[in-house]
Amino acid sequence: MRKLWLDRQGGANLTLVFGGWGLGPAPFAALAGAGDVLFVDDYRDLSDPLPEIGAYERVRLLAYSFGVASAAHWLAGAGVTPEKSVAVNGTLFPADERRGIAPDIVAATADGLTPASFARFCRRAGLSGPPPELDISATQAELRAIADRGPAPDTRFDRIWISARDRIIPAAAQETAWEGQSSVVRRLDAPHVPFGDGQSWKGWFA
């Protein structure tokens, strides 16, 4: 996994962010007010125990897009239980006909990945600004690893956000995936990347 500190002030509380596939930290650039924020992505290998979190009294988790399933796999392996966990526009079934993205679409996305196709993906996701720099082979391998890893262990979240205008993981698939946790689901009139100016980390954990 790749690790990047988005903010590091040396406080007692950590926000741990599992980002989405290929988008890097850009979706979270406008969020304010969290103290220490550790961002991770690149889910080809989930064996890193993230020893950085051991320095904190409290850890809360925000998992986004394919980071939701990846975080759930990682939590089960690392034996970590965050104080609060939030899922945003993702499911525990990343490559799934009914509860995620259809496996043939995931495979076609990986097989046909180019800078141009990735730029289209970013626009469909609602990412503002230019697409992140892309290592084609590494990003293809990551997407295939996510699909091959399969469904994540059942994981309870304190809040689940679903965007009605998600063009990456359809809202209907997310609704189906989270039927067992419907009481904590909240809906957004937003695209796949729902984060933006004027928002705070606190608001996503509300």
- pLDDT tens for 87-123 read 999 999 999 999 999 999 999 999 999 999 999 999 9
Residues forming a β-bridge with 41 = 2
Alpha-carbon gap, residue 92 to 75, rounded angstroms: 12
Which two tokens mark 163?
A: 């965007």
What averages of pLDDT result for each successive group of 10 residues across the chain (206 residues)?
A: 94 96 95 91 97 95 98 95 97 98 98 97 95 96 98 98 98 98 98 94 94
Angle at 107 between CA 102 and CA 108, to 5 degrees: 100
Which two tokens mark 105?
A: 């679409």
Alpha-carbon gap, residue 73 to 155, rounded angstroms: 9
Pairing state between β 185-188 and 159-163:
parallel
**The amino acid at 22:** G
Domains and CATH numbers, the chain: 2-204 (3.40.50.1820)
Global pTM reads 0.96
Which two tokens mark 203?
A: 């608001």
